Amino acid sequence: MSQPRCIDPEKIIPISRSTTGVFKTGTWGGHFPEYREKLSTCRGACPAGEDIPSYIALARDGDLEGAFYKIAQENPLPSVCGRVCYHPCEQDCLRRDVDEAVPIHRVERFVGDYGLDNLSFPEPIKSAGAAVAVVGSGPAGLSCAYHARRLGCDVTIFEERELLGGMMRLGIPAYRLPRAIVDRSVAMILATGIKTRSGFRLGDAGTWEELDRFDAVFLALGAQGALTPPFPGIELSGVIGGLEFLKQVNMGQRSEVKGSVVVMGGGNTAIDAARVALRLGAETTILYRRSRQEMPASAEEISDALREGAALLERALPVGVESANGDLKITCARTEAGNADESGRLSYAPLEGSEFTLTAGTLIVAVGQSVEVICGGGRPAIGPQPMTVEPFLRIAGQNYFAGGDMAPIPRRLCDAIASGKLAALSMSAMIGGLDMETIWSRVNVGRGGAFSMEEYLSGKESPSPRLKEAVTAAQIKPEWLAGSPRPEPSRLSAREAARGFDEVVGDPSPEELAASCGQCVTCGSCIGCDRCYLFCPEIAVIPPEEPGGAYSGNREYCKGCGVCAAVCPRGVITMGEGT
């Protein structure tokens, strides 16, 4: 017996295979969704403009090679940055609104080390027919050399010392950045075909003439002069500058320190000096004139120093030093907070009558660095103040550019690397007669000073939306985020750490990498999750034909309900106005 039509499964209910049927629900809506990728806040905060969400996604998918080359589009030193950059990216990570920031630096370190072990930078494919000189081989100089080489320039690095690396080698202690990492990172950059000239100290006319032969010159000499506070006894033999102390230890010229140590200062140099003094066996006290919360050093480094046994005296500063029985008698004063200074921080002045005395073998003064004065010989005058440069780091009217710690930018590793990259682009534009303003509007990242070299080299005319408008916390949907705790890196115990110069923070394991990558929601970037397509009640979201393509909307049926935007965890789809 044939089935009556009233129970025929194919006839009893309507099923639409393409649209939601007869009603052109698109006529109902006043608001329509906009599919637009956005800048991830981490990338917006990275001075080097690294495409963080992309490399994390690649690493998550197991493509470590892809992840490494993605970072290398912007920064040739991921193994270094993964260890010692203070990761402003994590400060701006939107995940902090939910629980904690994605541990981006750990991913960068894993990917960077993978690259050092397995990969090399590609040789430049084109020649610009131009020769540039880079003076100084710290992070700024190396970054500039690397990017200038990518832009097809013939590059020569001039360096005073035998070994390249600048502050990565002289300033940062090995327990934070093993020397093998510096050696291999430098070698990898040089292997792209960069010439080096060591034993070069800029100064006399001959050295300037040598540089004048280049089409463009990038000066990245650093800030290696010590600021010295004006108190009596500063010249005594037991008193030493923080950076000088670190250099002596890092260059193997010093393996001991006299007596107990007092470190004056609250920046990273002070903390590094204190931790190095501890490792040389000294009882160490840090004196800082403001409170611990106001210390410019990384909070992690401060707590590591204290864990390893350093003492911290807040709101105190030395006001005079005398020599007494072979020791230093340091007169200190308590401070009291006054008005805010130019930087917005409270100024602290010695409190009269609060003096007390500390006895120490060594006083390390780490209160800041200046640019070393170098005779200009008619060329740009250098030091002690930061160089005056135009927005794209050119020294006005000359073929000279300046970056890194000698330029008026934050004295951080990431900013130095960023300035080297910017100088490379800026030099290339000058040589090629291109307008930097025009280039900049296309390639700059967000509203900050970073730009994307990848975007520049792509040659695309319209910039990727992933570089411009930043995604906001309100646009991402934390309810879709997995609630796993941020993985903690392995580290040496304080006792083991203080015993020597072994790296304190351990290598990330593959499990830590997976957990770290898993925390990233890839905010601002579409990963093709299909959520908008699946949740749209009108089947009005049209998925891309090829993976990686954009989703579009069927206006005949999109009634503007906003479900797609509500379920997009990454803030790519937002509701717009009108048609």
Query: Using CB under 8 A as the criterion, which residues of the chain lie in contact with another protein when the complex forms?
Result: 4-7, 9, 11-17, 19-23, 25, 539
List strands edge to edge, sheet with 195-198: 195-198, 154-159, 131-135, 216-219, 400-402
Smallest gap, in angstroms, from Cβ of residue 549 to another protein? Answer: 19
Contacts of 476 (CB under 8 A, 6+ apart): 94, 521, 523, 569, 570, 571
Smallest gap, in angstroms, from Cβ of residue 150 to another protein? Answer: 45
Nearest CA to 100 out of 481, 502, 503, 565 is that of 481
Q: Which is nearer to another protein, 5 or 213 (CB)?
A: 5
Provide the pairing of β-strand 216-219 with 225-226. Answer: unpaired
List, in sequence order, the alpha helices (H) in 64-204: 64-72, 78-84, 88-91, 104-118, 139-150, 167-170, 179-190
Dihedral over Cα of 154, 78, 457, 387: its sign: negative
Smallest gap, in angstroms, from Cβ of residue 8 to another protein? Answer: 9
Task: Tell me the angle at which helices 52-60 and 104-118 cross, rounded to the nearest 10 degrees.
Answer: 70
Smallest gap, in angstroms, from Cβ of residue 26 to another protein? Answer: 13
Smallest gap, in angstroms, from Cβ of residue 543 to another protein? Answer: 11
Q: Which is nearer to another protein, 16 or 293 (CB)?
A: 16
Q: Which is nearer to another protein, 20 or 399 (CB)?
A: 20
Smallest gap, in angstroms, from Cβ of residue 557 to another protein? Answer: 10
Q: DSSP strand E in 239-361: where? A: 239-241, 261-264, 284-288, 311-314, 316-324, 327-340, 346-350, 356-360
H/E run at residue 252: none
Q: Which is nearer to another protein, 167 or 536 (CB)?
A: 536
CA atoms of 190 and 18, how far apart (whole Å): 57
Smallest gap, in angstroms, from Cβ of residue 57 to another protein? Answer: 25
Q: Which is nearer to another protein, 319 or 539 (CB)?
A: 539
Q: Which is nearer to another protein, 333 or 564 (CB)?
A: 564
- Could you give the C-alpha distances from 391 to 182, 396, 404, in angstroms and in order? 30, 10, 14
Q: What are phi and psi of 564, to 5 degrees?
A: -60, -40
Q: Which is nearer to another protein, 1 or 396 (CB)?
A: 1
- The neighbour count for residue 107, using CB atoms within 10 Å, is 27
251: tokens are 């260059």
Q: Are 531 and 568 in contact (CB under 8 A)?
A: yes
For the chain, the C-alpha Rg in angstroms (whole number) is 28
Smallest gap, in angstroms, from Cβ of residue 19 to another protein? Answer: 8
Nearest CA to 451 out of 405, 391, 492 is that of 391
Q: Which is nearer to another protein, 17 or 213 (CB)?
A: 17
Q: Which is nearer to another protein, 231 or 533 (CB)?
A: 533
CA atoms of 196 and 193, how far apart (whole Å): 10
Q: Which is nearer to another protein, 11 or 197 (CB)?
A: 11
Q: Which is nearer to another protein, 13 or 482 (CB)?
A: 13
Smallest gap, in angstroms, from Cβ of residue 9 to another protein? Answer: 4
Smallest gap, in angstroms, from Cβ of residue 552 to another protein? Answer: 17
Smallest gap, in angstroms, from Cβ of residue 11 to another protein? Answer: 7
Q: How far apart are the first and last CA of the chain?
A: 55
